Amino acid sequence: MKTIDELLAEGVDGKRVFVRADLNVPMSEGLITDDGRIRAVLPTVKALADAGAKVVVASHLGRPKGAPDPKFSLLQAAERLAELLGAPVAFAQDTVGPAAHDAVNGLEPGQVAVIENLRFNAGETSKDDTERGEFADRLAALADVYVGDGFGAVHRKHASVYDLPARLPHYAGYLIATEVGVLKKLTEDVKRPYVVVLGGAKVSDKLAVIDELLGKADRILVGGGMVYTFLKAKGYEVGSSLLQEDQLATVTEYLERAEKTGVEIVLPVDTLVAPEFPDLSGKTPSQPSTVAADAMPAGQMGLDIGPETGKLYASKLADAATVFWNGPMGVFEHPDYAAGTRAVAQALVESKGFTVVGGGDSAAAVRILGFDENAFGHISTGGGASLEYLEGKTLPGLAALED
């Protein structure tokens, strides 16, 4: 695929450059709680603006139902982008309507505009090729060149990700080029020991990547809500913990296959439990206690790996040459259940290997818990996209950027 450096060498002065970014930032009460994805696209936007392009930034935010919804507006993201750029950013209150055209037509070389949430239009996510193509045609009318830099969306066959690049000269932005380079280090000529840490809520979200990694990783450390399906598959009581009973047979088969192939699947030896899910607002006191992983009382809910498991996982990461981590170890948003995620993050910081934090909640966690981003080899902006790449899938947004 062609890169933004090639585009800049060709010259962009006065050209309208459409940048498909990923500004899908977490929000709480109308405020951005983590601006990592906005900062990730800054190098691309700044390089284009400095070279005299008229930069049109587009993204989705959340899951609106194909129609405008104020709670999913990109206005806050546009204002934060302006602060980070140190320059005004125009904001269009629609996506392909009069406001978008006015905003783009009003740009001078070196200026930036953000158009409203792409998913306010049904055509963005439509499964109908014609409807999606018609929306891509309307987006194409806003630009002369396309730069794909929304890595968090490249696994989606959406109009702005898949169809629009076919309608314009297209290039990969700095973020996508970096992300692809990192993922190649996880899939081609991997330095060993290769240790993967998987967490998050649902084991079903990780089944395909576990299936693929059973032939590639040396160790897989499991935590988060998904681990209780593994513990149940081993015959343990899991109380009222998150459990996907329909995945028990698959998880059992993975445990058996790992033993046969020599891949070490490491599960918690202790876990932090409470009678119910904690109040994340902090208004109601939490009641955590630590129990052995094979002795969870009925009626208790597992909410984090325990302190001994944190030490165990750190020891399993100590000699790693390559680490990929996707998914927190517990309900890290509550201070009583953040220790497990903190222990894994600290082990990655101390690692001498190449460490990759695989986007989503893991990326947010390392920032919320106060870790220096530069202490990790790479913090991805796309959890789902990273996982699908590791699964060996063709990602529509990457395929669209290839010539």
Catalytic center residues: 37, 202, 360, 384
Kind plus residue range of the DSSP H or E element containing 356: strand 354-357
Nearest partner of 325 among 366, 293, 297, 285, judged by Cα: 366
Sheet arrangement for strand 170-172: 89-92, 112-115, 54-58, 16-20, 145-148, 170-172
Q: Could you give the 3-state DSSP secondary structure of residue 165?
A: helix
Q: What Å distances lie between residue 233 and 42, 223, 250, 257, 294, CA to CA?
A: 45, 14, 9, 14, 12
Residue with tokens 């009382």: 297
Q: Could you give the 3-state DSSP secondary structure of residue 55?
A: strand
What is the C-alpha separation between 332 and 305, in angstroms, rounded? 11
Q: Are 214 and 198 in contact (CB under 8 A)?
A: no
Nearest partner of 118 among 237, 232, 23, judged by Cα: 23
Q: Are 165 and 394 in contact (CB under 8 A)?
A: no
Question: Can you list the positions of beta strands (E) in 224-300?
Answer: 264-266, 270-274, 289-292
- Taking residue 308's Cβ as centre, other Cβ atoms within 10 Å add up to 15
